[in-house]
Amino acid sequence: MDTNESKIEVNKLAWGKLAEDHYKHYKALLSREDFKLNPIVEEEIGDVRGKRILHLQCNTGADSIHLARKGAIVTGVDLVPENIYYAKKLAEDFELSNLEFVESDVLKLMDVHQGEYDIVMTTDGVLGWLPDLNRWGKTVSYFLKKDGFFYLHDSHPFMMIFDEGQLPHGNLVPKYPYFNMTADLDTSIGGYASETKQAENYFWGHQLSTIINGLLYGGLYVTFFKEYDRCVPGMAGSAIDTNGFAYYPELEGKLPLVFSLMAQKKS
Ligand SMILES: C[S@@+](CC[C@H](N)C(=O)[O-])C[C@H]1O[C@@H](n2cnc3c(N)ncnc32)[C@H](O)[C@@H]1O
Protein backbone atom coordinates (compact mmCIF):
# COMPACT_ATOMS: atom_id res chain seq x y z
CA MET A 1 0.00 0.00 0.00
CA ASP A 2 1.51 3.32 -1.05
CA THR A 3 -0.93 5.81 0.40
CA ASN A 4 -0.24 9.01 2.30
CA GLU A 5 -1.19 7.12 5.47
CA SER A 6 1.49 4.51 4.89
CA LYS A 7 4.02 7.29 4.19
CA ILE A 8 3.10 8.93 7.49
CA GLU A 9 3.73 5.57 9.20
CA VAL A 10 7.18 5.48 7.58
CA ASN A 11 7.82 9.02 8.88
CA LYS A 12 6.70 7.98 12.35
CA LEU A 13 9.40 5.30 12.47
CA ALA A 14 12.03 7.68 11.13
CA TRP A 15 11.31 10.44 13.68
CA GLY A 16 11.23 7.83 16.45
CA LYS A 17 14.90 7.09 15.79
CA LEU A 18 15.80 10.68 16.74
CA ALA A 19 13.71 10.98 19.90
CA GLU A 20 16.22 9.92 22.55
CA ASP A 21 18.99 12.09 21.09
CA HIS A 22 16.59 15.05 20.90
CA TYR A 23 15.59 14.52 24.53
CA LYS A 24 19.25 14.65 25.63
CA HIS A 25 20.03 17.62 23.40
CA TYR A 26 17.05 19.68 24.56
CA LYS A 27 17.42 18.69 28.21
CA ALA A 28 20.92 20.19 28.16
CA LEU A 29 19.65 23.33 26.37
CA LEU A 30 16.64 23.78 28.65
CA SER A 31 18.99 23.55 31.66
CA ARG A 32 20.73 26.73 30.51
CA GLU A 33 19.48 30.11 31.74
CA ASP A 34 19.71 31.57 28.23
CA PHE A 35 17.54 28.97 26.41
CA LYS A 36 15.18 30.75 24.02
CA LEU A 37 12.48 29.93 21.54
CA ASN A 38 13.34 30.97 18.03
CA PRO A 39 13.74 34.75 18.72
CA ILE A 40 11.61 35.61 15.66
CA VAL A 41 8.80 33.41 16.98
CA GLU A 42 9.17 34.75 20.50
CA GLU A 43 8.81 38.35 19.35
CA GLU A 44 5.96 37.68 16.93
CA ILE A 45 3.71 35.69 19.29
CA GLY A 46 4.12 38.23 22.11
CA ASP A 47 3.16 37.70 25.73
CA VAL A 48 1.77 34.18 26.27
CA ARG A 49 1.12 34.38 30.03
CA GLY A 50 -2.20 32.73 30.89
CA LYS A 51 -2.86 31.76 27.25
CA ARG A 52 -4.01 28.28 26.31
CA ILE A 53 -1.71 27.13 23.50
CA LEU A 54 -2.05 24.15 21.16
CA HIS A 55 1.47 23.44 19.90
CA LEU A 56 1.36 21.22 16.81
CA GLN A 57 4.29 18.95 15.86
CA CYS A 58 6.01 19.64 19.18
CA ASN A 59 8.72 16.97 18.80
CA THR A 60 10.16 16.16 22.28
CA GLY A 61 8.50 19.25 23.70
CA ALA A 62 11.36 21.72 24.13
CA ASP A 63 9.44 24.71 22.77
CA SER A 64 6.25 23.59 24.55
CA ILE A 65 8.19 23.58 27.81
CA HIS A 66 9.64 27.00 27.12
CA LEU A 67 6.12 28.36 26.47
CA ALA A 68 4.87 26.73 29.70
CA ARG A 69 7.75 28.32 31.61
CA LYS A 70 6.58 31.67 30.29
CA GLY A 71 3.19 31.06 31.90
CA ALA A 72 1.15 29.53 29.06
CA ILE A 73 -1.02 26.43 29.52
CA VAL A 74 0.26 24.22 26.73
CA THR A 75 -0.93 21.12 24.87
CA GLY A 76 1.83 19.70 22.67
CA VAL A 77 0.91 17.31 19.86
CA ASP A 78 3.18 14.96 17.96
CA LEU A 79 2.80 11.89 15.76
CA VAL A 80 5.57 9.87 17.36
CA PRO A 81 5.13 7.85 20.59
CA GLU A 82 8.83 8.16 21.48
CA ASN A 83 8.61 11.96 21.14
CA ILE A 84 5.60 12.09 23.46
CA TYR A 85 7.33 9.78 25.96
CA TYR A 86 10.40 12.03 26.07
CA ALA A 87 8.34 15.25 26.05
CA LYS A 88 6.54 14.04 29.19
CA LYS A 89 9.89 13.06 30.71
CA LEU A 90 11.30 16.53 29.97
CA ALA A 91 8.25 18.17 31.60
CA GLU A 92 8.85 15.98 34.68
CA ASP A 93 12.58 16.75 34.67
CA PHE A 94 11.77 20.46 34.84
CA GLU A 95 8.83 19.96 37.23
CA LEU A 96 6.24 21.64 35.05
CA SER A 97 2.56 20.84 35.40
CA ASN A 98 0.90 23.43 33.16
CA LEU A 99 1.36 21.34 30.05
CA GLU A 100 0.21 18.04 28.56
CA PHE A 101 1.18 16.05 25.50
CA VAL A 102 -1.05 14.23 23.01
CA GLU A 103 0.18 11.55 20.61
CA SER A 104 -1.59 12.03 17.29
CA ASP A 105 -1.19 12.67 13.62
CA VAL A 106 -2.11 16.37 13.26
CA LEU A 107 -4.48 15.37 10.48
CA LYS A 108 -6.38 13.04 12.85
CA LEU A 109 -6.32 15.28 15.92
CA MET A 110 -9.99 16.27 15.59
CA ASP A 111 -10.91 12.59 16.09
CA VAL A 112 -8.96 12.11 19.32
CA HIS A 113 -8.75 15.44 21.14
CA GLN A 114 -11.12 18.23 22.15
CA GLY A 115 -10.41 21.77 23.33
CA GLU A 116 -10.40 25.47 22.50
CA TYR A 117 -7.20 27.46 22.41
CA ASP A 118 -6.19 31.13 22.43
CA ILE A 119 -3.20 30.30 20.24
CA VAL A 120 -2.65 27.40 17.87
CA MET A 121 0.96 27.39 16.70
CA THR A 122 3.46 25.32 14.75
CA THR A 123 7.04 26.23 13.91
CA ASP A 124 10.33 25.27 12.29
CA GLY A 125 10.22 22.25 10.00
CA VAL A 126 6.56 21.31 10.10
CA LEU A 127 4.41 21.61 6.96
CA GLY A 128 6.47 19.29 4.76
CA TRP A 129 5.44 16.34 6.94
CA LEU A 130 1.75 16.89 6.18
CA PRO A 131 0.23 15.73 2.88
CA ASP A 132 -3.14 17.49 3.19
CA LEU A 133 -3.15 21.19 4.05
CA ASN A 134 -6.92 21.51 3.65
CA ARG A 135 -7.43 19.01 6.47
CA TRP A 136 -4.69 20.86 8.37
CA GLY A 137 -6.49 24.22 7.92
CA LYS A 138 -9.74 22.68 9.19
CA THR A 139 -7.88 21.25 12.19
CA VAL A 140 -6.30 24.60 13.10
CA SER A 141 -9.70 26.28 12.87
CA TYR A 142 -11.44 23.53 14.86
CA PHE A 143 -9.22 24.13 17.90
CA LEU A 144 -8.93 27.92 17.66
CA LYS A 145 -11.08 30.25 19.78
CA LYS A 146 -13.03 32.89 17.88
CA ASP A 147 -10.82 35.72 19.15
CA GLY A 148 -7.61 33.64 19.17
CA PHE A 149 -4.86 33.50 16.57
CA PHE A 150 -2.96 30.90 14.59
CA TYR A 151 0.80 31.30 14.22
CA LEU A 152 3.05 29.54 11.69
CA HIS A 153 6.81 29.96 11.15
CA ASP A 154 8.39 27.59 8.65
CA SER A 155 10.73 27.13 5.68
CA HIS A 156 9.84 29.30 2.70
CA PRO A 157 8.34 27.22 -0.15
CA PHE A 158 10.40 29.16 -2.73
CA MET A 159 13.70 28.32 -1.04
CA MET A 160 12.68 24.65 -0.85
CA ILE A 161 12.93 24.17 -4.63
CA PHE A 162 16.72 24.70 -4.73
CA ASP A 163 19.51 22.13 -4.40
CA GLU A 164 20.43 22.46 -0.70
CA GLY A 165 24.02 21.40 -1.42
CA GLN A 166 24.48 24.40 -3.74
CA LEU A 167 22.97 27.10 -1.51
CA PRO A 168 26.10 27.57 0.66
CA HIS A 169 27.99 28.41 -2.57
CA GLY A 170 25.38 31.00 -3.54
CA ASN A 171 24.12 28.90 -6.45
CA LEU A 172 20.39 28.71 -7.05
CA VAL A 173 19.97 25.39 -8.83
CA PRO A 174 16.33 24.23 -9.05
CA LYS A 175 16.09 20.60 -7.89
CA TYR A 176 12.58 20.07 -6.53
CA PRO A 177 9.60 21.16 -8.68
CA TYR A 178 7.64 24.00 -7.06
CA PHE A 179 4.40 22.55 -8.44
CA ASN A 180 5.07 19.11 -7.01
CA MET A 181 2.04 17.08 -5.93
CA THR A 182 3.93 14.00 -4.74
CA ALA A 183 6.15 13.31 -1.76
CA ASP A 184 9.94 13.21 -2.05
CA LEU A 185 11.59 10.15 -0.54
CA ASP A 186 14.77 10.72 1.49
CA THR A 187 16.93 8.04 3.09
CA SER A 188 18.27 10.01 6.06
CA ILE A 189 16.75 12.26 8.71
CA GLY A 190 17.87 14.58 11.52
CA GLY A 191 21.16 16.33 12.04
CA TYR A 192 19.94 19.52 13.75
CA ALA A 193 19.62 18.14 17.29
CA SER A 194 21.13 14.68 16.78
CA GLU A 195 23.41 12.78 14.47
CA THR A 196 21.89 12.22 11.02
CA LYS A 197 20.25 8.74 11.00
CA GLN A 198 19.57 6.41 8.10
CA ALA A 199 15.79 6.06 7.77
CA GLU A 200 13.44 6.43 4.84
CA ASN A 201 11.09 9.40 5.14
CA TYR A 202 8.64 11.28 2.94
CA PHE A 203 8.40 15.05 2.61
CA TRP A 204 5.74 17.04 0.80
CA GLY A 205 6.84 20.32 -0.79
CA HIS A 206 3.95 22.81 -0.68
CA GLN A 207 3.23 25.91 -2.69
CA LEU A 208 2.61 29.15 -0.82
CA SER A 209 -0.89 29.14 -2.31
CA THR A 210 -1.56 25.64 -0.92
CA ILE A 211 -0.71 26.87 2.57
CA ILE A 212 -2.92 29.96 2.35
CA ASN A 213 -5.72 28.06 0.63
CA GLY A 214 -5.62 25.40 3.38
CA LEU A 215 -6.23 28.10 5.97
CA LEU A 216 -8.99 29.70 3.87
CA TYR A 217 -10.57 26.25 3.53
CA GLY A 218 -10.62 26.09 7.34
CA GLY A 219 -12.40 29.46 7.54
CA LEU A 220 -9.34 31.47 8.53
CA TYR A 221 -7.97 34.68 7.05
CA VAL A 222 -4.37 35.83 7.06
CA THR A 223 -3.63 38.86 9.26
CA PHE A 224 0.19 38.91 9.13
CA PHE A 225 2.84 37.66 6.70
CA LYS A 226 6.60 38.23 6.80
CA GLU A 227 9.64 36.73 5.01
CA TYR A 228 13.23 36.47 6.25
CA ASP A 229 16.61 35.78 4.63
CA ARG A 230 17.90 34.13 7.84
CA CYS A 231 16.67 31.57 10.33
CA VAL A 232 17.63 29.55 13.40
CA PRO A 233 20.85 27.51 12.96
CA GLY A 234 20.62 24.01 11.48
CA MET A 235 21.21 24.45 7.73
CA ALA A 236 24.30 22.69 6.40
CA GLY A 237 26.96 25.08 5.15
CA SER A 238 25.37 28.27 6.51
CA ALA A 239 27.17 31.08 8.36
CA ILE A 240 26.01 32.59 11.66
CA ASP A 241 25.36 36.35 11.96
CA THR A 242 26.02 38.49 15.04
CA ASN A 243 22.49 37.82 16.34
CA GLY A 244 22.97 34.04 16.15
CA PHE A 245 20.87 33.52 13.00
CA ALA A 246 21.98 31.23 10.17
CA TYR A 247 22.27 32.71 6.67
CA TYR A 248 24.02 32.15 3.36
CA PRO A 249 26.38 35.12 2.90
CA GLU A 250 26.26 34.85 -0.92
CA LEU A 251 22.47 34.98 -0.84
CA GLU A 252 21.95 37.61 1.86
CA GLY A 253 18.99 39.79 0.93
CA LYS A 254 18.36 37.69 -2.19
CA LEU A 255 16.52 34.56 -1.08
CA PRO A 256 13.75 34.12 1.53
CA LEU A 257 14.60 31.23 3.86
CA VAL A 258 11.64 31.29 6.24
CA PHE A 259 8.30 33.03 6.62
CA SER A 260 5.88 33.82 9.43
CA LEU A 261 2.12 33.97 9.12
CA MET A 262 -0.73 34.72 11.48
CA ALA A 263 -4.39 33.99 10.83
CA GLN A 264 -7.71 34.40 12.60
CA LYS A 265 -11.15 32.93 12.30
CA LYS A 266 -13.72 34.69 10.19
CA SER A 267 -16.48 35.98 12.49
C1 LIG B 1 11.24 19.41 12.68
S2 LIG B 1 10.21 18.74 13.90
C3 LIG B 1 9.42 20.16 14.54
C4 LIG B 1 10.15 20.64 15.71
C5 LIG B 1 9.49 21.81 16.34
N6 LIG B 1 10.06 22.99 15.79
C7 LIG B 1 9.62 21.88 17.81
O8 LIG B 1 8.82 22.56 18.39
O9 LIG B 1 10.53 21.27 18.40
C10 LIG B 1 8.88 17.99 13.02
C11 LIG B 1 7.98 17.19 13.94
O12 LIG B 1 6.80 16.86 13.21
C13 LIG B 1 6.37 15.60 13.70
N14 LIG B 1 5.42 15.06 12.72
C15 LIG B 1 5.71 14.59 11.47
N16 LIG B 1 4.57 14.24 10.85
C17 LIG B 1 3.55 14.50 11.71
C18 LIG B 1 2.14 14.34 11.64
N19 LIG B 1 1.56 13.87 10.54
N20 LIG B 1 1.40 14.69 12.71
C21 LIG B 1 2.01 15.16 13.85
N22 LIG B 1 3.34 15.35 13.96
C23 LIG B 1 4.11 15.01 12.90
C24 LIG B 1 7.63 14.81 13.88
O25 LIG B 1 7.47 13.73 14.73
C26 LIG B 1 8.57 15.88 14.42
O27 LIG B 1 8.58 15.85 15.82
Residue nearest to ligand 1 atom 1, measured at CA: 125
Residue 21 is part of a domain; what is its CATH number? Answer: 3.40.50.150
Closest atom of ligand 1 relative to the 16 alpha carbon? 25
Of 114, 44, 108, 115, nearest to 78 by C-alpha is 108
- Quick one: which H or E segment has residue 93? helix 81-93
Report the C-alpha gap between 61 and 45 in whole angstroms: 18
For the chain, the domain total comes to 1
Model confidence at 93: pLDDT above 80: yes
Q: For residue 161, what pLDDT is reported?
A: 95
Q: Is 192 exposed, middle or buried (0-12, 13-18, 19+ CB in 10 A)?
A: middle
**Mean of pLDDT over the chain:** 96
Averaged pLDDT, 91-106: 97
Averaged pLDDT, 160-169: 95
Q: For residue 234, what pLDDT is reported?
A: 84
228 is in which domain, residue-wise? 4-265
- Cβ atoms of residues 179 and 189 within 8 Å: no
At residue 169, the 3 state secondary structure works out as helix
Confidence of residue 79 (pLDDT cuts 50, 70, 90): very high
**Cα(184) to centroid(ligand 1), Å:** 17
* Per-residue pLDDT reduced to its tens digit, 203-262: 999 999 999 999 999 999 999 999 999 999 888 899 999 999 999 999 999 999 999 999
Q: What is the pTM of this model?
A: 0.97
11, 40, 59: residue to mutate for ligand 1 pocket, most atoms within 8 A of CB: 59
Q: From residue 20, give the alpha-carbon distance in Å to each of 25, 58, 87, 102, 129.
A: 9, 14, 10, 18, 20
Low-confidence winner among 74-78, 97-101, 109-113, 179-183 (lowest mean pLDDT): 179-183
Q: For residue 180, what pLDDT is reported?
A: 83
Confidence of residue 67 (pLDDT cuts 50, 70, 90): very high
Q: For residue 2, what pLDDT is reported?
A: 65
What CA dihedral angle connects 62, 93, 118 and 215, to 10 degrees?
A: 30
**Cα(119) to centroid(ligand 1), Å:** 18
Q: For residue 192, what pLDDT is reported?
A: 85
* Ligand 1 neighbours by CB, cut-off 6 Å: 8, 11, 15, 57-59, 62-63, 78-80, 83, 105-107, 123-126, 129-130
Report the half-sphere exposure of 235 (CA within 13 A, side-chain side): 28
Residue nearest to ligand 1 atom 6, measured at CA: 124
**Cα(4) to centroid(ligand 1), Å:** 16
78, 119, 186, 232: residue to mutate for ligand 1 pocket, most atoms within 8 A of CB: 78
* Per-residue pLDDT reduced to its tens digit, 30-61: 999 888 889 999 999 999 999 999 999 999 99
